Amino acid sequence: MKKSAAYLFSKTFCVVSEFLFGHTVYKLGGSSNVKFTNKIRYCQDPKLYLNTCEPKNRTGEKLPVFLYIHGGGFVSGAPDYRRAILSNIAARGFFTVGIFYGLAPAYRFPEPVVNIYKALAFLKQNAEKYNIDTENIHTGGESAGGTLALTVGAISVNDGYKDYFTLPEESKDLKFKSIMPICGLFDVRDALDCGYPYIREYLAAYADLPAEILRNDAESLYLSPIRFLDSDLPPTFVITGERDALRFQSFALIEKLKGLGIQYGHYHGQGKSAIHAFPVGQCMKVAKEAIKEALDFITDVKP
């Protein structure tokens, strides 16, 4: 698909912003009582990798896994730029995994979803090496990462949705213990008119389809995980921000969770700092509070 001037500008803006904030603000407010291992290849593609973060001086018991999926409008971002939030999750006793799943347009839907499952297969294959409990996996992420987290959650409970994707045998039937979507986008057709800057360009790049076609294309439904949820979805903690143009997507998700009888929690950030994907900035009080409440909810979920 031809790249528009608006797309090229927004892509550049996202990449530069991620780089600048990722090396400054997004590192602040994290835990120092953890250790990172970076750039672990999880499949044959040399561009794809994951970073792990775990508590220092951990005991011999297996740790539950938290798979964190970064945002960036599907066109930017990396786990390297999420050190604070990854470390604070790990400090609560999780083997935290930040995954680089590939960015649009080089990796278009459904490739990022499949790549996440490749990473999950890698974790299952290496469970003994990392001393992790792959029967106790949680997932979450912000913005596009929240979309992908709900997508894999929906795949795990909806066989019809799962069949759309070509997933690795080792991980395709994996179940999650909880999901934590942060400021996500869950219905593509509704999101096209939400007013978020350059949302049409990002979605067009991710789907490799012009926005006008996305609105009515039958295949575009598969980009909208909210349409494939059922009552077996695991407990879900939704984070929204008062100043986030995508907050209505999360409000619709909460109504869906209520209707299906799914256990859920909700943190709504308020104030000038509660912008889109605000929990990534763990140096802010509202961001720390959101993740603390989410982790309180998740740790109460029985293995």
Pair 241, 276: CB distance under 8 Å: yes
- Please give the Cα distance from 128 to 245 (Å, whole number): 43
Task: Write the CATH number of the domain with boundaries 5-299.
Answer: 3.40.50.1820
Q: How far apart are CA 213 and CA 236, in angstroms?
A: 31
For residue 209, give the DSSP letter: S
pLDDT level of residue 60 (50, 70, 90 thresholds): confident
Domain ranges of the chain: 5-299
For 204-238, what is each residue's pLDDT tens digit?
Answer: 999 988 888 898 888 889 999 999 999 999 999 99
How high is the pLDDT of residue 170?
97
Summarize pLDDT for 146-170 with one digit per residue, the tens: 999 999 999 999 999 999 999 999 9
DSSP state string for 248-294: HHHHHHHHHHHHHT--EEEEEE-STT--TTGGG-TTSHHHHHHHHHH
Q: What percent of the chain has pLDDT over 90?
A: 82
The string over 140-174, giving b where at least 16 C-beta atoms fall within 10 Å of a residue's C-beta and e elsewhere, is bbbbbbbbbbbbbbbbbbbeebbeebebbebbbeb
Tell me how far apart the alpha carbons of residues 44 and 17 are, in angstroms, rounded to a whole number. Answer: 29
